[in-house]
Amino acid sequence: MNTFADATAAPETIAPEELTEEELTEAQPAEVLRPLTVAELHLHIEGTLEPELIFELAARNGITLPYADLDELRGRYEFTDLQSFLDLYYANMAVLQTEQDFADMTRAYLTRAAAAGVRHAEIMMDPQAHLSRGIPLETCVNGVASALATSVEDFGISTLLIAAFLRDLSEESALEVLDALLAMDAPIAAIGLDSAEVGNPPSKFERLFAKARAAGLRLTAHAGEEAPPSYIIEALDILGVERIDHGIRCMDDPELVERLVDERTPLTVCPLSNVRLRAVDTLADHPLPAMLAAGLNVSVNSDDPAYFGGYVDENFAQLRTVFELSEFDVVRLAAHSINSSFASEERKTELLNELNGV
């Protein structure tokens, strides 16, 4: 029985017809509207570990955390850049020990995502971050996969799993893990590339992506989160990825923007993440509106929501507040997420119809 319901509780949704006209004028849009139908394409499952769940799993596994209580842990959530976040993100994974732990974390995310309107989720996990702690591949993969296997019945969310590789480790390590995943016939649909970006360009992983492509896997990679546009170009030209995770730094290269627009390349943007990791100064400085205006295929995603102050609904809510996005733009962003997913054409049509109220 889990006891972390509060940590995963969604903001209460009020149907408009339940409100008086006065209340309707006062209520915030995110409370009044039914959740927008979206696909979440950029989500690290280990980044959904809420502080309450970290303490619960630590107690269950007899692990002593280096924080006395929740407040002390939350006090560490002040990041100066990507690396300062990654240090805490990897340290907190110590509480994940058993298949049950991975399954509970995944179900907690799905519970919260369903309330946020997520109807399809492509979930990244970092197998190397668990292997290096002595956790077998089967434990992390089977734990997450067991929760995903019933995600449609249990949460109304279609899901698929992305094995993400740590770019600050060697390509040999990544190749070994990919081989092991393929040998165990792991239920993965795609591979990704994450962790410390600057100094670890996509070109370092050319053989890994070629092998994954040959195995029939879909391809995505983080690029242009902190590193310059050349990383995005390498991910496209050398790795042959279909999607770019983040990609905000493309705005520094007008020629690249033109190419991304022409090729309709999906960019899975994570606004609250970019603020918390200081890729941008404030949300008001975020390039998302300019990216939309340029005609880029951008979607809104939550990245590591337990660390960055909000799930996908909160990302949309804050964007609406700061930028006064039109309903048209909000629906366009949601449609981009669905169209950019690796879901079947049938599922995409189903979700687009739902988004359009058909």
Q: Which residue has the tokens 């039109």?
A: 326
Nearest approach, Cβ of residue 194 and ligand ADE (Å): 4
Active site residues: 225
Residue nearest to ligand ADE (CB): 194
Nearest approach, Cβ of residue 44 and ligand ADE (Å): 4
Nearest approach, Cβ of residue 25 and ligand ADE (Å): 38
Residue 341 partner contact from Zn ion, ligand ADE, none using kind-dependent CB cut-offs of 5 to 8 Å: none
d(CA 358, CA 348): 13
Cβ proximity of 217 and 186 under 8 Å: no
- Interface residue with ligand ADE among 82, 236, 267, 351 (CB under 6 A) is 82
Our finding on whether 226 is near Zn ion (CB under 5 A) is: no
For residue 121, list its beta bridge partners: 40, 159
Our finding on whether 303 is near Zn ion (CB under 5 A) is: yes
d(CA 284, CA 322): 6
Longest CA–CA span in the chain (Å) reads: 62
Residue 195 partner contact from ligand ADE, Zn ion, none using kind-dependent CB cut-offs of 5 to 8 Å: ligand ADE
- Output the six-digit token pair for 37: 């139908």
Nearest approach, Cβ of residue 77 and ligand ADE (Å): 14
Applying CB under 5 A, which part among 56-64, 75-83, 209-217, 302-310 lies near Zn ion?
302-310
SS3 196: coil
Between the alpha carbon of residue 162 and those of residues 48, 62, 319, the distances in Å are: 15, 30, 27
Q: What angle do CA 169, 49, 317 make, to 5 degrees?
A: 110
By rule CB under 6 A, what string of x and - marks binding of each residue 38-67 to ligand ADE? ------x--x--------------------
Report the interhelical angle of 51-61 vs 99-115 (nearest 10°): 160
In the complex, the residues that contact ligand ADE under the rule CB under 6 A are 44, 47, 82, 89, 194-195, 222, 225, 273, 303-304
